[in-house]
Chains A and B, each alone.
Chain A
């Protein structure tokens, strides 16, 4: 049981590391900056 848990834990950890790397590389700085401004430009919109 312990080994199953350990292997499961390591798989989850590997997935998270891949996710970290992917998230860090997928967008440009300009795209991140644009998203960061969302709360500053939301009052004048009338959806």
Chain B
């Protein structure tokens, strides 16, 4: 029997739920992808309509899968890098139940038609309050553990997790400020262009500090663990952290190019997005150089393969993002599927793959047994890679086609192709995207089976007899 000092049961619970939400969120994603090929498969049911199901998809994968995985890995790593047991484990369990309940009820409310109509923040005001309270609990647990640490330096992964907690709290509270009208409807305190600027300050920095910063925390802890190598340049990781924090917060207005916001705000967003390439690639280079010391292990270890592939997609996505933020590129790419391809090269290629790699590392350690099947994990790796590549290529093709078609003018200077013409041209790409989603989902199902079998094979706890009866 293994005696565990660290509080890992709550980590396991979050991990289970993260896998469950990944499966459910990806099923919703595949379904909405199928609706773009066969629009009638909502069967006239409002909850299955594209608008509601797509929002349920993003909510489930972002806040169900992504945040559960981030909380699990933050709790796991902060104890170890601080050499202390988790602060307030009871509060961590309360956070677990509160967060899962918020996801269940929140997804149900979206399917029922409740929405604040703010992208990636669609949940209505009762959920906004519940999320804020839960997030404070996360902060207390995390920073409480840091405060009790027995190692003086705060390891770099904790800086990223800390930034995630602080900045997401700030973004969530400001963007959610609203006047409730009924239980299921509220009106934002911001209006017009102001509302747009606040929304994309939130939206882009949710990408920045949740999908990038939080997962970089995961990378900086689990990459050295898995590669059995210290991070290549610790100094570079610190400089990259501060450059990342400083630069990212300005980049949101690149979502509002050619909109009714001041020209200088748009240009500032573009310039900061381009500067952001430097800290992003500094981290990628740091990660790749760390793995270079463990090249042999890379051939056989599926967890490390996932993490390294995630780094490659991180590099690709953080190059593509600044390029799409250039105004003259954005005039072509905006309102096209290219943006969807970019988002998914990050969400699938970076966030999901690094989480999968981390789960393949964590579950055998949490269960105390080897992974059930390395072969299944390798099949998952290739399905995930094929799915991500096919998705991105399909959306690049669709996006470039749309860009050309939207901007094509006839001799009178009027648009040559109607919305219907453009949508009809998208059908082959949408079918390819559906296949890509199915491949990625199939890989995730294999992972769920593999991890469940691993947990099922863990040694049974030995019941110790009372002290007086021991031989």
A binds B: yes
Q: A11 CA to B345 CA in the complex, in Å?
A: 36
Cβ contact within 8 Å between A45 and B83: yes
Cβ contact within 8 Å between B153 and A38: yes
The size of the chain A interface, using a CB distance under 8 A, is: 24
**Could you list which residues of chain B lie within 8 angstroms of chain A, going by C-beta atoms?**
5, 77, 80-85, 150-151, 153, 155-157, 221, 224-225, 228-231, 234-235, 238-239, 242-243, 246, 264
Decide yes or no whether A10 CB sits under 8 A from chain B: no
Q: A47 CA to B246 CA in the complex, in Å?
A: 34
Provide a sorted-by-A list of 9 A–B residue pairs whose CB atoms are within 8 angstroms: A2-B264, A16-B242, A23-B242, A35-B155, A36-B224, A36-B230, A38-B153, A39-B225, A47-B85
Q: A32 CA to B150 CA in the complex, in Å?
A: 18
Complex interface: chain A residues within 8 A of B82 (CB): 47
Q: A1 CA to B27 CA in the complex, in Å?
A: 48
**Whose C-beta in chain B lies nearest to the C-beta of A32?**
B234
Cβ contact within 8 Å between A46 and B5: yes
Cβ contact within 8 Å between A36 and B231: yes
Known A2-B264, A32-B234, A45-B83; judge A39-B242 contact (CB<8 A).
Answer: no
**Could you list which residues of chain A lie within 8 angstroms of chain B, going by C-beta atoms?**
2, 12-13, 16, 19-20, 23-24, 27, 29, 32-40, 42-43, 45-47
CB distance from B374 to the nearest CB of A (A): 22
CB distance from B99 to the nearest CB of A (A): 26
Cβ contact within 8 Å between B234 and A33: yes
CB distance from B368 to the nearest CB of A (A): 13
Q: A5 CA to B82 CA in the complex, in Å?
A: 39
Complex interface: chain B residues within 8 A of A12 (CB): 246
Complex interface: chain B residues within 8 A of A2 (CB): 264
The contact of A24 among B80, B84, B150, B239, by CB within 8 Å, is B239
Q: A20 CA to B239 CA in the complex, in Å?
A: 6
Q: A46 CA to B2 CA in the complex, in Å?
A: 13
Cβ contact within 8 Å between B81 and A42: yes
The contact of A47 among B150, B231, B264, by CB within 8 Å, is B150
Complex interface: chain B residues within 8 A of A32 (CB): 234-235
Complex interface: chain A residues within 8 A of B85 (CB): 47
Complex interface: chain B residues within 8 A of A40 (CB): 224-225, 228-230
